[in-house]
Chains A and B, each alone.
Chain A
Amino acid sequence: MTDIILSVKNLKKYFEPHQSFAQSIAGGGQKKLIKAIDGISFDIRRGEIFGLIGESGSGKTTTGKLVMKLLEPTSGQIFFNGEDVTHLGKEKLKEYRRKVQMIFQDPYASMNPRFKIKDVLEEPLIIHKVRATIEERTKMIVKALEEVKLTPPDEFMGRWPHMLSGGQRQRVATARTLILNPMMLVADEPVSMIDLSTRAEILHMMRDVQKELGLSYLYITHDLSTARYFTDRIAVMYLGRIVEIGRADDIIDNPLHPYTQALIEAVPEPVTGKIDIIKELPIYGEIPSPANIPKGCRFHTRCPYAADACKDEPEPELTLDGEEHYHACRRAYEVQAERKKKQAV
């Protein structure tokens, strides 16, 4: 057994935009592909919480869907537990989905309102034809509810989703994934719709479950602050590529890519003395369309440190700089020096 549970190799996902008949004639069949994922590679280790960070349009959710096998990649490979799972038949796919489960963003939409909690939790057992007596199934449901600290389980089993708070629903959603004894969970913004006061409670619960059961997580979020707290390693995505990858603390305390630096600068901190300050952001404008990715380094149109080489020369690949810390910026050293100079002023 390797210590890598999920390995993604040069994964790409291109979408063809919808075109009217007239457009397809006028365009001579030349469609502009939307390059949602444009060649990404990463490994998730066994028992690790791996964070995928990015703005909307960065491709983080598409990556999650590819890993869940909800989308077929255009090219590239996905290995799970040492096995190539890029293309799977129906039976194999079902088996894979049992091992890799998903927690969705919206706890209000991810549950059938006509199902009691007991039914919500029993459904995966039925779908995956887990042969068991009613007593055994009930036992499994009770165990799953206990794991997510919804106690007493008997009481929760009889409730309807509308009787639960957002946090409790996200616990049920987690219990629903745990009931099949998965090896990995993909969680796409699991706490972004939950009130701040209980967000931490859900993250604690998810981490406890992860430690207890030795699970691996792919945690997809736009929120750097929770990612720092919750994850072991972080990959920062920009426009379909990973621009920086490393240990969570290294990424936040010592960001090497200018995009990561801009993301960090933009995060508000609850400290006083900032009302009259217009924050200087080391980034220009907004994220370009993935149908129109800039040539050269794809970040150069927004980068305050960009030089001619960034525009003209081919896109930089991820390079190792420090322990387990990779970045895709050819001017990383100059950027660091300029940044330090600015911070000193």
Chain B
Amino acid sequence: MHMNSLLKVENLQMHYFTSKGAVRAIDDISFELRRGETIGLVGESGCGKTSLGTSILRMPTPPGRYVSGKILVDGVDVIPLPEKEVRRNIRWQKISMVFQGAMNCLTPVYTIGRQMMETLNEHSDLPRSDAEDLIREYLGYVGLPPEIVQRYPHELSGGMKQRAVIATALFLKPEIVILDEPTTALDVIVQAQIINLLKKLKKQFSLSFIFITHDLALEAEISDRLCVMYAGKIVEMGSNAQIYGAQGPKHPYTERLLGATPRLFKKVEQLQFIPGTPPDLIAPPKGCRFSPRCDKAFDRCFQEEPPLIEIEPGHRSSCWLHQRG
């Protein structure tokens, strides 16, 4: 275990048990989050990145259930803990989450202040006046005026709502914040403003982030390390410099995904794309899960599933090409 390890996920499997069979949404995933670091989880929709986020928060969406593996927070596995203890010590206290589309899930009939107060009451015993002060204090940190507490969601812009949601995720002083597509519904300028805010807050409160998005370009702005997910698995792991630097990613999926990301300052005749669709996770293909869409696949890819292979220190990729010589 790394010295500064804050969260460690070990061989986690979480499946959705549907009437058609078990959907293997998270299928043997291991990674580690270090103190003060941002890890990016990136992949297409349906690759399991949001499922991984909610699983870490010990709240897989029904019918999802843990199948095996561990989630170690400060060395303690949280999966077998009783719900009461998770609520008291882990969820929101230690790990909080900004859910995808959370800003559009604010109740229209309550003021922002009341909705923030609800979260606070649920998790702490602060007297009312202290709680109100705390809310105002945190609104200040995210760049909102204190009067916002009396406003209703429809009176705020998307960016302001997202700031309020971020404040709500922070005021119980968690060490880890999971951010699930926190800027997807926002305009590009507001997105850049929110990314700047997150960078500032991370330093100010010594936070560690798990940043989930489908946008590889956005991950480049914020993530120290990246986990590229495909069909319930991590297919490539590397530092920001290893993935976005001169040598580039090593897994064919990451390569293709980066090629499909439109670049503003690079004029291309033909944008790349990845033909086909991600596999059915009830009955994933034999061998490498990306093999049916991969133009570099050879015999072995269709037979055996590749493990994550270390290419250089800190850079791993699950592709048989690396062992082909």
Contacts and interface: CB of A to CB of B under 8 A. Distances in A.
Contacts of B195: 268, 279
Interface stretch (B74-82, B93-101, B261-269): B261-269
Contacts of A262: 189
Contact of A270 (B158, B216, B256): B216
B179 interface: no
A198 B244 contact: no
A43 interface: no
B159 A286 contact: yes
Contacts of B200: 278
Q: Which 6 A-B pairs have the closest CB atoms?
A: A200-B271, A225-B262, A272-B244, A200-B273, A266-B192, A201-B273
B245 A275 contact: no
A97 interface: no
Interface string A260-272: 0011111111111
B224 A200 contact: no
Contacts of B190: 55, 286
B182 to A, nearest CB: 13
A222 interface: yes
Contacts of B121: none
Contacts of A273: 240-241
Nearest to B271: A200
Interface in B229-244: 240-241, 243-244
B273 A270 contact: no
Interface in B3-30: none
Nearest to A168: B277
A196 B43 CA distance: 9
A226 interface: yes
Contacts of B159: 286
Contacts of A198: 273-274, 277
Contacts of A249: 267
B273 A283 contact: no
B154 to A, nearest CB: 12
Given A200-B273, A204-B271, A278-B200, A252 B265 contact: yes
A133 interface: no
B1 to A, nearest CB: 24
A268 B215 contact: yes
B127 to A, nearest CB: 35
Interface residues of A, number: 44
Interface of A: 55-56, 165, 167, 195-201, 203-204, 222-226, 228-229, 249, 252-253, 262-276, 278-279, 281, 283, 286-287
Interface of B: 38, 44-45, 157-160, 187-193, 195-196, 199-200, 214-224, 240-241, 243-245, 256-258, 260-265, 267-268, 270-275, 277
A276 B262 CA distance: 23
A196 B192 contact: no
A270 B241 contact: no
A41 B224 CA distance: 46
Given A270-B261, A274-B221, 15 more contacts: A196-B261, A197-B273, A198-B274, A204-B270, A263-B188, A267-B264, A268-B192, A268-B195, A268-B220, A269-B263, A270-B219, A272-B240, A275-B221, A281-B193, A286-B159
A304 B144 CA distance: 21
Contacts of A224: 188, 264
Contact of A275 (B38, B215, B272): B38
28 contacts: A55-B188, A196-B261, A197-B44, A198-B273, A200-B262, A200-B271, A204-B270, A222-B188, A224-B188, A225-B263, A228-B267, A229-B268, A229-B271, A249-B267, A262-B189, A264-B264, A268-B221, A269-B263, A269-B265, A270-B216, A270-B244, A270-B263, A272-B243, A275-B221, A275-B240, A279-B195, A281-B196, A287-B187
B216 A56 contact: no
Contact of B220 (A203, A253, A272): A272
A223 B186 CA distance: 11
- Tell which of A222, A229, A263, A283 has the most Cβ of chain B within 10 Å: A229
Contact of B264 (A201, A269, A283, A287): A269
A279 B274 CA distance: 31
Contacts of A204: 270-271, 273
A252 B264 contact: yes
Nearest to A164: B277
B261 to A, nearest CB: 6
Contact of A196 (B38, B44, B244, B275): B44
A20 to B, nearest CB: 15
Nearest to A262: B189
Nearest to A203: B271
Nearest to A201: B273
Given A270-B217, A275-B223, A197 B262 contact: no
B215 A165 contact: no
A279 B191 CA distance: 11
A266 B223 CA distance: 17
Contacts of A279: 192, 195-196, 221
B314 to A, nearest CB: 14
B71 to A, nearest CB: 26
A290 B218 CA distance: 29
A268 B217 contact: yes
Contacts of A196: 44, 214-216, 257, 260-261
A138 B200 CA distance: 60
Nearest to A268: B217
A274 B217 CA distance: 11
B260 to A, nearest CB: 5
